[in-house]
Amino acid sequence: MLLVIASAAPGHGTPLYPAPDPDPFYAVPADLADRKPGDVIAVRPMPPLSIFPETTVTVVRFRSTNSEGRPIAATTTVLTPRAHRGDGPLLSFQHIINGLGAECSVSRVLYTGDPNLVVREAPGWNVLLARGWSVALPDHLGPQFAYGAARLGGQITLDGIRAVKQVAELQVAKSPVAMAGYSGGGMATAWAAALAPRYAPELEIAGAAMGGVPMNLVKMMEGLGLGAHPVFGLALAAGLGLEREYPERFPLSEQLNERGLAARDAIANSCTNDIIATGAGHGALDFAKTTTMIGNSTARAVVEENSLELYDGVPRTPIFEWHSPIDALIPVDSVVNTDRRWCAAGVRVQSEQIPVPDHLTAAVIGIPSALSWLDARFRGEAAPTNC
């Protein structure tokens, strides 16, 4: 992440926001500020999808809050299987969204046939749908696709649950609720769990399963360094996302050279593959105006605010957490430290280490245990702990 930017006067950043969505369904209502977090703005039934047999698809727009306390409109997509019974289990699944534009949203990706989603995610979701669970898939990066704004993802996740419970035709008003996600989706899940006691205290959450969570973005930045890296594009995208969410405090665009600005423009509305391709083999020194970069305390504070290891709140729901002990992408010590702090606060944490070095392989191997754990929470069984 491009955190080590030179000091700059606040207010002169020029963040590049995603292209506006022309669909009137996504228009922001004039009375948005008068609505409460989680209030439903609009509901749209979607065409059926062959990848989810006997399942209806519904998009719900709702009011949420951005990282600086301002009202925003957000979206979640709900899969409802024919096997769903009224007030049956509801799982909010925070999908991995590595993107900066509307085409990366879950509802869009479902209908554009993104192979990463269809091949990797849909079969797993069908397992849940076959159990009769409703599955909500929030666009947890928010309307500006603020990739990297982790706390925002937690708030949108919680408001999405609030909203879905208000839509009568979904029949989940009294459903037991759980949350799950991996990597960036795990980050939104973990933040939602930690924020819930303060942000949405009325929500009863049966459990939260999270894997491969970047618990400390500052340490991730420090681990990435300034040199070339295969996934530097994701770090650049995270910096641009934070600039969108905190334009006064994180003026990244000011610090980019011509090459950096060209890369920014190229990925301003891009999703995973194009973002990675644009940044592959590059590093911060390639895209910054100067090789003598100074740590900026204001910018660092933004990243710290989005680092769960540094947040003093703790979940009140049981936690299932899994990770590789040698994950090359995330600082594992931050995961361990967060688990220990939550344990010390009385949270029932079940943590599993997956003995593989690959971030995504750990996701696949850990999912069966996570689903079994979630199933037990929905059955009302006492949560195990290995604190």
- Mean pLDDT split into 10-residue runs, the chain, 387 residues: 36 75 93 97 95 95 97 98 96 94 90 64 86 97 96 98 98 98 96 98 98 93 76 92 95 91 95 92 85 66 96 97 90 96 98 92 92 97 97
Only one residue has tokens 């006691």, namely: 197
286 domain-assigned: no
Q: Is 191 helix (H, G, I), strand (E, B) or coil?
A: helix
Helical packing angle, 232-245 and 217-224, nearest 10°: 140
Contacts of 216 (CB under 8 A, 6+ apart): 307, 308, 309, 310, 331, 334
Strands 90-94, 71-81: pairing kind? unpaired
Q: Which domain holds residue 159?
A: 31-216+306-378
Q: In this predicted structure, what is the pLDDT of residue 2?
A: 43
45 domain-assigned: yes
Token readout for 284 is 């911060």
Domain count along the chain: 1
Q: In this predicted structure, what is the pLDDT of residue 227?
A: 73
Angle ∠(258,263,264) on CA atoms, nearest 5:
95
82 domain-assigned: yes
322 domain-assigned: yes
207 domain-assigned: yes
Only one residue has tokens 């979206």, namely: 75
Only one residue has tokens 């959450």, namely: 205
287 domain-assigned: no
9 domain-assigned: no
Q: At 63, which CATH number?
A: 3.40.50.1820
243 domain-assigned: no
Q: In this predicted structure, what is the pLDDT of residue 231?
A: 84
